[in-house]
C-alpha cells in the first residue's frame, strides 16, 4: 500500500518501505500537491511557489521532469504509456490522488474534526496525536506555502490536545491530564482553552486553590503580553469556582473520608452557651461538620493546627489571648484555615485591624443561622461575608482614618465597577448585588474578582476597607442603606 507522511519528516512509503523521492525541490513538488488535499495545482502556481520571485528560465520543463521521476518512484510497475493513477495530470497542472487513510495529514485532520460522545472523541484524538511525529513539513519551512500549512496543522494539533483533555474530563480522568495540561498552558499561554481545561482538571481533583491560581497566572500573562484581562468566559469560570457553583469536585485519594465534600468548622468562643448553639447549628446542616471547640485564643491556635479545620469561627474577645492575636497566628500557619471573626456588638476597635490582617468576614453572634452558614460557605470558597450591621459600625467608627498601606485611589475603575464596590462595602452578597443591579450572579462574582485583581487585594473584606479609605463610601452613605 502506498502511504505519505507529512507530520514530521516528509516521506512516501510502499508497504512500509521508504521510496526515493529525489532532491529537495523535487520532493517539494509532491509535498505541495499533498498540501492541496487532492485538488489540482496549476503548473504556474507550482513554479511561483517553488522559486518565489526568481524562477529559472526552464522552470516548466524542470517541473515536468520532477513529475516524471516522481511518477516512476510512486508507481514503479506502471507501463511507459499507461496513465498515472497517483500523481495525475489535471489541466492546467497536477494533483495527488490518494485516500484519506493513505496520507497522515489528511487522516489527522479528519480525526481532529470528527465528533461523537466523549469516549469516541478521546479515542479519535488519541489516534490523531499518535500520527504526529514532529513539526509538519519542516524541511520546506523556507517556502511560504509550507510554513502556512505547517501553522494550520500545528493549530489542529493544539485543538486535538484540548479536545482530548475535554473528553478526558467528561470521562473522569482529570488526574492523568493535569501534568499534560500544565505543560500545554505553559507552552501556549495565550490559548484560553488550555487555561480553562487546566483549571477544571485541578478543580475536579479537589485542588480548588490551585485551580484559581492557574486562572490568576493566565490573567498575569494576558495583562503582560496583551494588555487585556481574562476573557469573559474565564472570568465566569473563576466566579463559579469562587462561589462553588461547579459540580462538587472529587476528593483526592489520600483525603480522609470525613473531609470529602464536608466543610469542617472549629468553634472558638469563651462562652459555653455560644459554643453549644453553634454546635447544634453545625450538626444539623448537611455538608458542614464540627471539627472541634476551643475556649480561648491559645487553645484555638492549637486546635486549628490539630484538626485541620477548613474554617474557624473565632470570638474577637477571649481570655488568655484575644481573638485578633489568635487570628494572626492561625493565618500565619502553613495552609491556614479561613477565619471568620464573631463579635457581640460590632463596635470593637480590633475589627479594623482584623480586616487588614486578612480574616474572611465578620458576624454578629446574634446573626441568624442561615447568615452564619452562608459566611462559612463563602469563606471556604475564597470569598468573604461581613454582616451589614458590622460594616456600618466599622465605617462609622473609622471614617477618615486612612491607612498608609491602603490601596491607591480608585482611579481607572468604571462607573459600573464603582457601583459594585459600593454595594460590596454595604455588606451585600453577590446575589443581593445582582438583584440590585439586575445582573446574573456569576457576572457579579466575576466583577468582584476583577476589582480584587485591579486593587491588588485578596478578599471581600479588604474591598470594604478600600471603599471607605478612598472616600467612596461615608458613614452617612452607609447609614442610608
Of the listed ranges 44-58, 137-151, 390-404, the least confidently predicted one is 390-404
What are the pLDDT digits (tens) for 319-343?
A: 777 788 888 888 877 778 888 888 8
Mean pLDDT score across all residues of the chain: 82
What are the pLDDT digits (tens) for 206-242?
A: 888 899 999 999 999 988 888 888 888 888 888 888 8
State the first-to-last Cα distance of the chain, in angstroms, to the nearest integer: 80
**Cα(443)–Cα(449) distance, rounded to whole angstroms?**
10
Say if residue 111's pLDDT is above 80: yes
Confidence of residue 167 (pLDDT cuts 50, 70, 90): very high
Q: Around Cβ 82, how many Cβ atoms within 10 Å?
A: 9
Say if residue 473's pLDDT is above 70: no
Average pLDDT over residues 377-389: 67
Average pLDDT over residues 138-163: 92
What pLDDT does residue 405 have? 43
Given a contact cutoff of 8 angstroms between Cβ atoms, the answer to whether 31 and 144 are in contact is: no
Which candidate, 361, 281, 287, places its Cα nearest to that of 327? 361
- The grid coordinates listed for 149 are 500549512
Catalogue all structural domains in the chain, each as residue range(s) with its CATH number. 1-168 (1.10.10.10), 172-258 (1.25.40.10), 262-386 (3.40.50.2300), 397-479 (3.40.50.2300)
What pLDDT does residue 41 have? 92
Rounded percentage of the chain residues whose pLDDT exceeds 90: 37
- The grid coordinates listed for 95 are 494533483
More confident residue, 326 or 352: 326
Average pLDDT over residues 421-431: 76
What pLDDT does residue 349 have? 54
Of the listed ranges 60-69, 144-153, 169-178, 374-383, the least confidently predicted one is 374-383
What pLDDT does residue 389 have? 57
Of the listed ranges 279-288, 376-385, 420-429, 469-478, the least confidently predicted one is 469-478
Given a contact cutoff of 8 angstroms between Cβ atoms, the answer to whether 218 and 195 are in contact is: yes
Average pLDDT over residues 33-58: 91
What pLDDT does residue 196 have? 93
What are the pLDDT digits (tens) for 69-107?
A: 999 999 998 887 888 999 999 888 999 999 999 999 999
More confident residue, 345 or 154: 154
What pLDDT does residue 361 have? 75
What pLDDT does residue 452 have? 79
Average pLDDT over residues 427-445: 77
Confidence of residue 351 (pLDDT cuts 50, 70, 90): low
Rounded percentage of the chain residues whose pLDDT exceeds 70: 84
What pLDDT does residue 400 have? 46
Which candidate, 303, 281, 292, 289, places its Cα nearest to that of 261? 289
Confidence of residue 262 (pLDDT cuts 50, 70, 90): confident
**Cα(481)–Cα(470) distance, rounded to whole angstroms?**
19
Of the listed ranges 47-51, 53-57, 194-198, 471-475, the least confidently predicted one is 471-475
- For the stretch 209-216, contacts whose Cβ atoms lie closer than 8 Å and that sit 24 or more positions apart, written own/partner, are 209/382, 211/241, 212/238, 212/241, 212/242, 212/382, 214/185, 215/241, 216/453
Which range of 210-219, 410-419, 421-430 scores highest in mean pLDDT? It is 210-219
Average pLDDT over residues 280-303: 87
More confident residue, 372 or 467: 372
What pLDDT does residue 388 have? 57
Which candidate, 44, 15, 42, 10, places its Cα nearest to that of 27? 10
> What is the residue whose three cell numbers read 485583581?
453
Confidence of residue 383 (pLDDT cuts 50, 70, 90): low
Of the listed ranges 157-171, 275-289, 406-420, the least confidently predicted one is 406-420
What pLDDT does residue 259 have? 35
DSSP string, 457-479: --SHHHHHHHHHHTTSS-HHHHH
What pLDDT does residue 322 have? 77
Amino acid at each position: 500500500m502506498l502511504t505519505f507522511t507529512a507530520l514530521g519528516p516528509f516521506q512516501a512509503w510502499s508497504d512500509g518501505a521508504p521510496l526515493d523521492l529525489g532532491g529537495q525541490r523535487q520532493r517539494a513538488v509532491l509535498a505541495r500537491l499533498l498540501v492541496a488535499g487532492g485538488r489540482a495545482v496549476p503548473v504556474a502556481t507550482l513554479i511561483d511557489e517553488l522559486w518565489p520571485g526568481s524562477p529559472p528560465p526552464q522552470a516548466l520543463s524542470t517541473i515536468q521532469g520532477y513529475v516524471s521521476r516522481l511518477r516512476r518512484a510512486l508507481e514503479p510497475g506502471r507501463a511507459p504509456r499507461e496513465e498515472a493513477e497517483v500523481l495525475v495530470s489535471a489541466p492546467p497542472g497536477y494533483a495527488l490522488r490518494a485516500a484519506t487513510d493513505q496520507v497522515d495529514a489528511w487522516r489527522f485532520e479528519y480525526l481532529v474534526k470528527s465528533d461523537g460522545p466523549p469516549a469516541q472523541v478521546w479515542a479519535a484524538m488519541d489516534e490523531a496525536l499518535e500520527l504526529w511525529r514532529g513539526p509538519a513539513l519542516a524541511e520546506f519551512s523556507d517556502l511560504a506555502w509550507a510554513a502556512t500549512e505547517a501553522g494550520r496543522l500545528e493549530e489542529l494539533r493544539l485543538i486535538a490536545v484540548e479536545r482530548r483533555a475535554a473528553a478526558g474530563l467528561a470521562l473522569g480522568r482529570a488526574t492523568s491530564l493535569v501534568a499534560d495540561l500544565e505543560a500545554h498552558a505553559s507552552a501556549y499561554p495565550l490559548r484560553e482553552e488550555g487555561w480553562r481545561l487546566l483549571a477544571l482538571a485541578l478543580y475536579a481533583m479537589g485542588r480548588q486553590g490551585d485551580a484559581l491560581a492557574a486562572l490568576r497566572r493566565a490573567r498575569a500573562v494576558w495583562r503582560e503580553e496583551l494588555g487585556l484581562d481574562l476573557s469573559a468566559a474565564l472570568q465566569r469560570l473563576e466566579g463559579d469556582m469562587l462561589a462553588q457553583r461547579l459540580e462538587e469536585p472529587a476528593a483526592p485519594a489520600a483525603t480522609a473520608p470525613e473531609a470529602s465534600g464536608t466543610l469542617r468548622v472549629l468553634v472558638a468562643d469563651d462562652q459555653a452557651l455560644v459554643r453549644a448553639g453553634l454546635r447544634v447549628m453545625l450538626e444539623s446542616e448537611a455538608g458542614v461538620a464540627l471539627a472541634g471547640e476551643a475556649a480561648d485564643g491559645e487553645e484555638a491556635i492549637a486546635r486549628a493546627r490539630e484538626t485541620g479545620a477548613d474554617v474557624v469561627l473565632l470570638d474577637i474577645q477571649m481570655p488568655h489571648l484575644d481573638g485578633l492575636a489568635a487570628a494572626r497566628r492561625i493565618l500565619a500557619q502553613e495552609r491556614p484555615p479561613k477565619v471568620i471573626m464573631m463579635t457581640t456588638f460590632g463596635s470593637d476597635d480590633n475589627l479594623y485591624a482584623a480586616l487588614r490582617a486578612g480574616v474572611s468576614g465578620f458576624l454578629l453572634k446574634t446573626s441568624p443561622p442561615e447568615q452564619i452558614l452562608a459566611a462559612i460557605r463563602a469563606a471556604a470558597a475564597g470569598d468573604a461575608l461581613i454582616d451589614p450591621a458590622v460594616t456600618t459600625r466599622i465605617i462609622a467608627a473609622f471614617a477618615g482614618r486612612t491607612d498608609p498601606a491602603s490601596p491607591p485611589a480608585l482611579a481607572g475603575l468604571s462607573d459600573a465597577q464603582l457601583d459594585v464596590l459600593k454595594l460590596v462595602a454595604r455588606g451585600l452578597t453577590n446575589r443581593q448585588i445582582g438583584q440590585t443591579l439586575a445582573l446574573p450572579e456569576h457576572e457579579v462574582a466575576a466583577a468582584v474578582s476583577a476589582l480584587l485583581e485591579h486593587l491588588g487585594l485578596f478578599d471581600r473584606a479588604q474591598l470594604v476597607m478600600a471603599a471607605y479609605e478612598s472616600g467612596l463610601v461615608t458613614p452617612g452613605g452607609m447609614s442610608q442603606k
